[in-house]
Chain A
Amino acid sequence: MSARFDRAAVKQKFREPGAPPVLATSMQRSLDHKRAAQAGVPWEALRDRAHALKADAIANLDILLEQFERRFVERGGRVVWARTADEAADAFLRICQAHGAKSVVKGKSMVSEELRLNERLAAAGIDPVETDLGEFIVQLAGHKPSHVIAPAAHLSARDVGTLFERKLGLEFSDDPQTLSLAARARLRGRYVSAEVGMTGVNFAVAQTGTLIVVENEGNGGLSAAAPRVHVALMGIEKVIRRTADLATFLPLLARSGTGQKITTYTHHFLGPEAGKHQYCIIVDAGRTALLADPATRESLYCIRCGACMNVCPVYRRVGGGAYGSVYPGPIGAVVTPKMVDPAAASVLPFASTLCGACKDECPVKIDLPLQLVHLRRLAVDTAVAGGLLERRAMRMFVRAMSDVRAYSRAVKWLRLTSRVAQRSPWKPGPLGAWMRRRTLPAPAGQTFREWWGSRS
């Protein structure tokens, strides 16, 4: 299998941040909506409860998955287990072929991105139709989703208008209403003609064997209901113990994701009715590796609301595409090395200022900064990160900090070199990239100690 994570390209994108201004504006809008929606509920108490419920579900994951499987099968569904993303995509293709599918209507699913399902379907001659507006836009543009709940967050209304004009032959418009309704009209007929419908899964309830999917557009409902076959894709971590737990998770997810009290549609799939087939593909794809390390286990509590991205100063500056992963932002930095490609371990955990905003925003209180620091330590210990230069610099730093004379020599040297660097037109390396966009502050005329000593 070819490498999925392009290390060099990602490093370059972090060096030269390229997110369009529309991204930061949209992210701020999302945060404002979230804050307003939080006000009406005992937010902190709900977060604590959600954290405890997820901790319990993950601590009992094996039993809950078996229980879910048993009840789901009792309802008439079929369960397929997949160790890897490729195994899951194979299973999906076999289901499509068994039912003679020529096209698949797809509701929103991040697991589908992990599987690279669209490529796999297209290669097998099956037409994948993304129906979520954001996914439809990025599929049309040939992009990857840049945000877990707003896949087209990196595109402005003008961008979308130009895209629709070019690819769909529509008259240009930069009005979100006109554009959204154009996509609606385009997709109407596809639901009824598709043989297979796919959705993701937000929660799988072990107690009842039911699948919970939340969405706003109605495309998820149509994708699940219209074709004769419904395939739900879920990671192993989606299972929860009881239906009563939904009263905690649904309000947190809707408020954190979009600032709503509850999403427009909360689907409870109860098992296939007469004339219908229902499958659930349960995917590991690196999740058990996250589970095995107690320091990263909490990342499996994630309910994919996207709030950590909305608030992250790095994400807002570089955009989701820069992370080179299905999962961007702080949570992406934690899960990508295990879930997508180990090559990310030397890059993504370092793409954070460790400011802690993501932890404060997370509705299930995942300690993301702690996990990032842990992954950095792992990366350095196993020497996949931190080049020769960095290790030298660190040794010099340790020397300077442990000896007064070495320290004052180092300070003099730094003042000199920073003056030189300021005037030099030659700005190489990462420091150069930093300086091309910022002004290096001029060093003070004298050090604090010199000034203190000169006081009369």
Chain B
Amino acid sequence: MVGIAIVSADARADILARIRAGLGMEARAELSEPPPIDATRTSPDVATRPDSCARFARELAAVGGEAIVLVEAGDAALARAVAERVARFDFRAVAVQRDSLALAAAAGIPAARLIQLSGASIDQLERADCAIVAAESLIADTGSAVVHVTAYEERLLPYLPPACIIVARASGVQVGLDEAALGAGEDERGERVFITGPSRTADIEKTVVLGAHGPGSLTVIIAAD
């Protein structure tokens, strides 16, 4: 920690006092009862899992991404699908998240095409042309992949390289936001990000352009259980 005096106790006390005065309340420690949550869902239909995979693929395609749902089970099939994709698009500098699923998925890529995420340097990552990250879960209703990046050098993976491959397991497909893991464990650090399609912008005349700052190409490969 850098030792600088940036915490002004006065400002904190003043703001909290102003809030209490504004609300016409004394200092109190207890929250009032939360408003009741009704059963209204943001994703109207509760689909079964086989439908969820297809739904996920449709939603992701609608925002410019691509989902590949593997039929053959096992990590070997996943590694083959990833290696095939890397070869087809001729990715020469692939950076892989240090996560068991991501590493298993990258097992078929020739070592010469991999970038080692070494230590604190992120300079190497600038020349990566593809990232491989693992999804904790997928959200079918929105076409989102839930990715947790914990180490400093991994946090740029979903954003910096121009292409991103996200690997996931079919068992991790959730129906909608109502089921999604919105919480955060006390010991978790870094960032959990819901990624929904390739990066995009519509800042010029509301015209959609893909590949704004993040990847212009986003593929989710779903391993069968």
Query: Is residue B177 within 8 Å, beta carbon to beta carbon, of the partner chain?
Result: yes
For A261, give its contact among B27, B59, B151 (CB under 8 Å): B59
Q: Are A222 and B213 in contact (CB under 8 A)?
A: yes
Highest count of chain A CB atoms <10 Å: which of B31, B122, B182, B186: B182
Q: Are A26 and B206 in contact (CB under 8 A)?
A: yes
A182 to chain B minimum Cβ distance, whole angstroms, is 11
Query: Within 8 Å CB of A275, what residues of B?
Result: 120, 152
Q: Are B191 and A267 in contact (CB under 8 A)?
A: yes
Q: Are A81 and B202 in contact (CB under 8 A)?
A: no
Q: Are B20 and A181 in contact (CB under 8 A)?
A: no
B11-34 residues with Cβ-Cβ distance < 8 A to A are: 11-12, 14-16, 18-23, 25, 27-32, 34
B99 to chain A minimum Cβ distance, whole angstroms, is 14
Give the docked Cα–Cα distance between A242 and B199 (Å). Answer: 28
A34-89 residues with Cβ-Cβ distance < 8 A to B are: 40-42, 45-46, 49, 52-53, 55-56, 59-66, 74-76, 78-83, 87
A179-207 residues with Cβ-Cβ distance < 8 A to B are: 179-181, 184, 187-189, 191-192, 205, 207
Query: Is residue A390 within 8 Å, beta carbon to beta carbon, of the partner chain?
Result: no
Query: Is residue A291 within 8 Å, beta carbon to beta carbon, of the partner chain?
Result: yes
Query: Within 8 Å CB of B194, what residues of A?
Result: 262, 265-266, 268
Contacts known (A76-B189, A131-B213, A208-B184); A53 close to B35, Cβ less than 8 A: yes
Give the docked Cα–Cα distance between A176 and B29 (Å). Answer: 52
Q: Are B32 and A60 in contact (CB under 8 A)?
A: yes
Please, what's the 1-or-0 string for A265-300, where 1 marks a CB less than 8 Å from any CB in chain B?
111111111111101001010001101100001000
Query: Within 8 Å CB of B143, what residues of A?
Result: 261
Q: Are A268 and B189 in contact (CB under 8 A)?
A: no
Interface pick from A93-101, A312-320, A355-363, A438-446: A93-101
Query: Within 8 Å CB of B70, what residues of A?
Result: none
Query: Is residue A157 within 8 Å, beta carbon to beta carbon, of the partner chain?
Result: yes
Chain A: number of interface residues, binned into ranges: 35 or more
Q: Are A262 and B37 in contact (CB under 8 A)?
A: no
Q: Are A226 and B177 in contact (CB under 8 A)?
A: no
Query: Is residue B8 within 8 Å, beta carbon to beta carbon, of the partner chain?
Result: yes
For B42, give its contact among A46, A65, A78, A210 (CB under 8 Å): A46
Give the docked Cα–Cα distance between A373 and B152 (Å). Answer: 51
Query: Is residue A221 within 8 Å, beta carbon to beta carbon, of the partner chain?
Result: yes
Contacts known (A59-B32, A95-B6); A243 close to B40, Cβ less than 8 A: no
Q: Are B142 and A273 in contact (CB under 8 A)?
A: no
Query: Within 8 Å CB of B200, what residues of A?
Result: 216-217, 264
Closest to B198 in A: A264
Contacts known (A179-B204, A247-B182, A264-B198); A56 close to B142, Cβ less than 8 A: no
Query: Is residue A133 within 8 Å, beta carbon to beta carbon, of the partner chain?
Result: yes
Interface pick from B81-89, B100-108, B154-162: B154-162
A63 to chain B minimum Cβ distance, whole angstroms, is 5
Give the docked Cα–Cα distance between A221 and B158 (Å). Answer: 9
Q: Are A216 and B199 in contact (CB under 8 A)?
A: yes
Give the docked Cα–Cα distance between A250 and B146 (Å). Answer: 15
Query: Is residue A330 within 8 Å, beta carbon to beta carbon, of the partner chain?
Result: no
Give the docked Cα–Cα distance between A454 and B40 (Å). Answer: 63
Give the docked Cα–Cα distance between A284 and B213 (Å). Answer: 32
Closest to A224 in B: B191
Query: Within 8 Å CB of A289, what residues of B?
Result: 22
Q: Are A29 and B206 in contact (CB under 8 A)?
A: yes
Give the docked Cα–Cα distance between A94 and B194 (Å). Answer: 32
For A247, give its contact among B44, B158, B177, B204 (CB under 8 Å): B177
Query: Within 8 Å CB of B7, what residues of A?
Result: 78-81
Give the docked Cα–Cα distance between A389 and B192 (Å). Answer: 60
Query: Within 8 Å CB of B123, what residues of A?
Result: 192
Highest count of chain B CB atoms <10 Å: which of A157, A222, A270: A270
Query: Is residue A328 within 8 Å, beta carbon to beta carbon, of the partner chain?
Result: no
Contacts known (A30-B206, A270-B190); A226 close to B156, Cβ less than 8 A: yes
Query: Is residue B48 within 8 Å, beta carbon to beta carbon, of the partner chain?
Result: no
Query: Is residue B50 within 8 Å, beta carbon to beta carbon, of the partner chain?
Result: no
Q: Are A176 and B205 in contact (CB under 8 A)?
A: yes
Q: Are A150 and B18 in contact (CB under 8 A)?
A: no
Q: Are B213 and A264 in contact (CB under 8 A)?
A: no
Q: Are B2 and A225 in contact (CB under 8 A)?
A: no
Query: Within 8 Å CB of B184, what residues of A?
Result: 205, 208, 210, 243, 268, 270
Query: Within 8 Å CB of B203, what residues of A?
Result: 132-134, 137, 150-152, 180
Q: Are A218 and B199 in contact (CB under 8 A)?
A: yes
Query: Is residue B66 within 8 Å, beta carbon to beta carbon, of the partner chain?
Result: no
Q: Are B189 and A75 in contact (CB under 8 A)?
A: yes
Query: Within 8 Å CB of B6, what residues of A?
Result: 78, 80, 91, 94-95, 98, 279
18 sampled A-B residue pairs with Cβ under 8 A: A81-B7, A95-B6, A98-B6, A137-B204, A151-B203, A157-B204, A176-B209, A192-B123, A217-B199, A217-B212, A225-B149, A250-B177, A264-B63, A268-B192, A270-B188, A273-B150, A274-B151, A274-B152
A-B pairs, 4 with minimum CB distance = A218-B214, A217-B212, A292-B22, A134-B203
Q: Point out residues on A near B: beta carbons under 8 Å.
A: 22, 25-26, 29-30, 40-42, 45-46, 49, 52-53, 55-56, 59-66, 74-76, 78-83, 87, 91, 94-95, 98-99, 131-134, 137, 150-152, 155-157, 160, 176-177, 179-181, 184, 187-189, 191-192, 205, 207-208, 210, 216-219, 221-222, 224-226, 236, 241-244, 246-248, 250-251, 258, 260-277, 279, 282, 284, 288-289, 291-292, 297
Besides A26-B206, A288-B15, 15 new A-B residue pairs in contact (Cβ under 8 A), listed by A number: A63-B29, A63-B30, A134-B203, A176-B204, A177-B209, A181-B209, A219-B213, A221-B193, A222-B214, A251-B42, A265-B195, A265-B196, A268-B191, A271-B190, A272-B189
